[in-house]
Structure 1
Amino acid sequence: MHFRPRIFFSPLPIIYIVSFFFTLHAAVPVYINSSFLSTLISEKYVGLIYSVAALLAIIALILIPRLLKLVGDYFATLLFIVLEIVALIGIAFLEDANLIIALFIISSALITLISFDFDLIVEGFSKNASTGSIRGLYLTFANVAWIIAPTLAALLLANDAYWRVYLAAAIIFIPGLFIFAGRLESFKDPLYRMLHFRRAFAIVWHDKNLRYIFSISFLLQFFFTLMVIYTPLYLHEYIGFEWKEIGPMFSIMLIPFLLLEAPLGHLADKILGEKELLIAGFFMMALATGAIYFFAAHSFALWATILFMTRVGAACVEIMTETYFFKKVSAGDAAIIGLNRSVRPFAGLIGPLVATGILVVAALPSLFLALAVLMLFGIPLAAALKDTR
């Protein structure tokens, strides 16, 4: 076994711990953001705020390789973390709606940039033979935070005190700031290849496997975008669950990410290829998401089970997508990694627009059925990949 020494005698455990604090701070407000914004602006414009935030994140990801070459990943990430904490404190305590919305948009972009920087650091300490195992552990630490966050947010949100959630998010990230600043200063930046956005896009487009894995990543992020926005709305407004029930339900829903991603990453490294697990994951996502259309009973167990199964499939797709992509690139490919990470805000830009179009002509349950059908398109994309084994 060559895997264990690589993990425990490298800085990777530090970035895993920092990733936990980063993810927890971002995940605590994620399911209440839309409700909070609707107290500042009409509900019909909330989606526009998300779209602007996504667009800013895309632009930032296009520009960030230049900043990395100038100051390095360590100092860039340190700056982004400090700015993120300040932005959250501002959201918690400012009263001017325009300023709060502006800080929300900036915070959303900063979260994307910090996640991108962490990706480069993890990739810098990874070898292809162990990429699945390393990415799996990295995601597992983050997934512990995702499981804790919904229940914690429900406890903080007593009497609609949204400011508590954002202040808590800022406080949670402070230990991550100090650990990162004190333990990762020695990170040596790779030689970043300075590629223009169009050149990076051309490289991806002309590499069949990269093109397919980008498409798979888009489908996954499209799924996450719509489920994060519309599942809480559906459960609360249509099925009639209270937030104190929805919080624990979402914590249960997210358990597959914790239980499955590390062992599946190791499985992809040692036994199976990525595409078999991608196909299984998309099939499960489609089946479970489609089931939402057919049930309306007010049953905690029923909905916890359905949502749990959607994330069993999503966990398979997420870790296989991460493993496959990072076996195809190196830490120096900052422009290509940045392009890959722009898929998430791009899905965040497109998803609400598509959903709005569907909801103009159909009821909310139909949105989940349409999403299930869309996930089936991931199966032929996965089947077309050339396995890395």
Structure 2
Amino acid sequence: MFSFFRRYSTSQVVSVYAANVVLALHFALILFANSTFLEESFSNTAISLLYAGGSILSVFIFLLIPHIIERFTIFTTALFFILCEFISIGGMAVAGNPVILATLFVLHTALISILFYICDVYLEKSTKEEVVTGSTRGTYLTLTNIAFMIAPLLTGIIVSVYGYRYVYACSALLLFPLLYMFIKWLRPIRSESEVLVPTNIPKDTTISIRNKKIFYPLFAQIVLQFFFAFMVIYLPIYLITEIGFTWKILGPIFTIMLLPYVLFELPVGYLADSRYGEKEFMIGGFLLIAATMVAITLPETPHAILWSVLLFLSRVGASFAEITTETNFFRQVDGSDEGIISLFRLSRPLAYVLAAIVGTISLAYLPFTALFLVLAGIILVGVIVLLPMKDSR
């Protein structure tokens, strides 16, 4: 693998592609396993609180990251966070004490968003330097999605044969090639103080609410990330404890579920550009998500084909919403709107906090199945809010 990429190491963009794919594979290996692994030591309510705690810490670090990078450089910051991530995931592979396990998971939840953010900053700076076209980001997302699609299949095999802790060990080991890539290929960015600006949440939120062209895609992003967070936290637990699946079957099901991101995002992006605009695909995608959330409450048996179809359809909707949300948002902002862009990136950890709160409250009064009806209702409310939105083209 290293010999393949070394030929292209003069290209900062390709180096960022490679690093981001390895980071995505590292994260995706454990993404859907986290909840069911933690369930061996914690209640569903406690798991929700752990996700919320890690996401709050992520927001806090995110607000500090411009100052950290300005003082220590983005290159040094990346190396430090990779080492911290190795400690957290490697520690989870061997930790026997629930308190230590919880602490390491919260640390991982906080760090992973920052590491993806750092890769994103490298990509932005590299594209500015190398004058590449907008297709760079499309390729970046597609390669990331391929890694996320492959990983659940590997997770299912490893968990079925060796158990959860080996998944975390494999995930931790992937950080070594990532560290190598940063040291050998990703040179320090020049003028790093100009790459990021501190996020002023009250000011940027006010600007976003007043400017409807920014508000609608930002709101759509929060709704979409809420859906992602809800499914990551609660879907694996539901399928294993309530429906009766094993990871041997869940791995292939999750891989099929994630196929739409690879199959549809680029074609939908092209159609939204050339014919229909973003709004139709965005609203249609959210409606499809809501419909499938209602539908998955109906089956009560582990029928692999049926569940594969339902979850595949849910991610068809999500892929439509994701590409059109990003396209619409980035057409409304430019380099002078760094604070607004930072707020857009903050949507992921904020959505995890909201999803954990809603899930905890819902589980206190409703059966597990009803969680997905709650999710469908929230998405439909989001669709109503988005109806006045205008296409950007």
TM-score scaled by length of structure 2: 0.88
Report the CA distance between 1:61 and its aligned residue. Answer: 1.3
Tell me the distance in 1 between the aligned counterparts of 2:311 and 2:151: 16
Tell me the distance in 2 between the aligned counterparts of 1:333 and 1:312: 31
Equivalent residue letter for 1:102: T
How many residue pairs align between the two structures? 382
C-alpha distance 322-54 of structure 1, shift in aligned 2 (>3 A)? same
Moved more, 251-260 or 350-359: 350-359
SS at match of 1:293: coil
Tell me the distance in 1 between the aligned counterparts of 2:207 and 2:11: 32
Tell me the distance in 2 between the aligned counterparts of 1:227 and 1:329: 29
Tell me the distance in 1 between the aligned counterparts of 2:102 and 2:160: 22
For structure 2, the residue ranges without an aligned partner over 5 or more in a row are 1-8
Report the CA distance between 1:25 and its aligned residue. Answer: 0.6
Report the CA distance between 1:126 and its aligned residue. Answer: 5.1
The structure 2 residue matched to 1:165, chosen from 153, 162, 167, is: 167
Tell me the distance in 2 between the aligned counterparts of 1:55 and 1:198: 17
SS at match of 2:30: coil
Determine if contact 1:135/1:265 at 8 Å carries over to the other structure. no
Tell me the distance in 2 between the aligned counterparts of 1:264 and 1:130: 18
**1:219 paired residue number:** 223
Tell me the distance in 2 between the aligned counterparts of 1:254 and 1:130: 27
Equivalent residue letter for 2:168: Y
Moved more, 355-364 or 188-197: 188-197
Moved more, 328-337 or 213-222: 328-337
Equivalent residue letter for 1:97: P
Moved more, 247-256 or 262-271: 262-271
SS at match of 2:174: helix
Percentage of matched positions with identical amino acids: 34
SS at match of 2:41: coil
Tell me the distance in 2 between the aligned counterparts of 1:326 and 1:118: 18
SS at match of 1:294: coil
Equivalent residue letter for 1:58: V
Moved more, 12-21 or 155-164: 155-164
C-alpha distance 10-380 of structure 1, shift in aligned 2 (>3 A)? farther
SS at match of 1:29: helix
The structure 2 residue matched to 1:137, chosen from 125, 136, 139, is: 139
SS at match of 1:151: helix
**1:5 paired residue number:** none
Determine if contact 2:36/2:237 at 8 Å carries over to the other structure. no
For structure 1, the residue ranges without an aligned partner over 5 or more in a row are 1-7
**2:187 paired residue number:** 185
Tell me the distance in 1 between the aligned counterparts of 2:183 and 2:332: 30
Tell me the distance in 2 between the aligned counterparts of 1:24 and 1:76: 21
The structure 2 residue matched to 1:244, chosen from 239, 242, 248, is: 248
**1:49 paired residue number:** 50
**2:351 paired residue number:** 347
Determine if contact 2:157/2:247 at 8 Å carries over to the other structure. no
Determine if contact 1:249/1:304 at 8 Å carries over to the other structure. yes
C-alpha distance 63-176 of structure 1, shift in aligned 2 (>3 A)? same
Determine if contact 1:135/1:262 at 8 Å carries over to the other structure. no
C-alpha distance 334-238 of structure 1, shift in aligned 2 (>3 A)? same
C-alpha distance 124-319 of structure 1, shift in aligned 2 (>3 A)? farther
Moved more, 259-268 or 340-349: 259-268
**1:76 paired residue number:** 77
Tell me the distance in 1 between the aligned counterparts of 2:132 and 2:16: 20
**2:299 paired residue number:** 295
Tell me the distance in 2 between the aligned counterparts of 1:379 and 1:92: 41
Report the CA distance between 1:236 and its aligned residue. Answer: 1.8
Tell me the distance in 2 between the aligned counterparts of 1:43 and 1:310: 23
C-alpha distance 135-284 of structure 1, shift in aligned 2 (>3 A)? farther
**1:197 paired residue number:** 201
Report the CA distance between 1:249 and its aligned residue. Answer: 0.5
SS at match of 2:320: helix
Deviations 1:20-67 (A, max 9, x none): 111111111112212222333444422211111111011111221222
C-alpha distance 228-70 of structure 1, shift in aligned 2 (>3 A)? same
Deviations 1:203-240 (A, max 9, x none): 32322222222211111111111212222222222222
C-alpha distance 263-68 of structure 1, shift in aligned 2 (>3 A)? farther
TM-score scaled by length of structure 1: 0.89
**1:149 paired residue number:** 151
SS at match of 1:364: coil
Q: Pairwise mapping of residues 1-389 of structure 1 onto structure 2 (< 5 A)?
A: 11-125=12-126, 131=134, 133-158=135-160, 161-185=163-187, 187-188=189-190, 189=192, 190-330=194-334, 333-389=337-393
Report the CA distance between 1:311 and its aligned residue. Answer: 0.2
Moved more, 122-131 or 31-40: 122-131
